[in-house]
Structure 1
């Protein structure tokens, strides 16, 4: 087996740390993207249900769904 010098080992370690860091950032970005898609989907569904409650003149459903929508916005700061 070929022995590597100290500088080669240090370079190799630095490259591994950089790859690990890049991997972490990529995973974080993917997680954020999926969260955003899920949030947008939930909001769209609630808005559709709110519109349906208005069309049906269902005040109870409207109040309940509107409260859920406001809580979702408050929870995610949107």
Structure 2
């Protein structure tokens, strides 16, 4: 019979918890990284549209796009 001692079982349990914690932190990091990439892409897209509105002297579009940009930066705290 291959019975494990209490100490061995506790070590195994601690290792499982550690791996789960590391996995959670890694998933959190990946999520943050993807969010940052999407935010930067959205900001760049808005900036390009704002530049186009300035170049074409489209005041209405400029104001609307500027508000969107402000909301985006406020929502993500950047």
TM-score (structure 1 length as normaliser): 0.97
Superposed counterparts of 1:54-69, under 5 Å:
54-69=54-69
Q: Unpaired segments of 5 or more residues in structure 2?
A: none
Alignment pair present for 1:46 and 2:46: yes
Q: Unpaired segments of 5 or more residues in structure 1?
A: none
d(CA) in 2 for partners of 1:50, 1:69: 9
Tell me the residue number matched to 1:15.
15
Deviation at 1:2, TM superposition (A): 2.0
Tell me the residue number matched to 2:25.
25
Q: How many pairs align?
A: 78
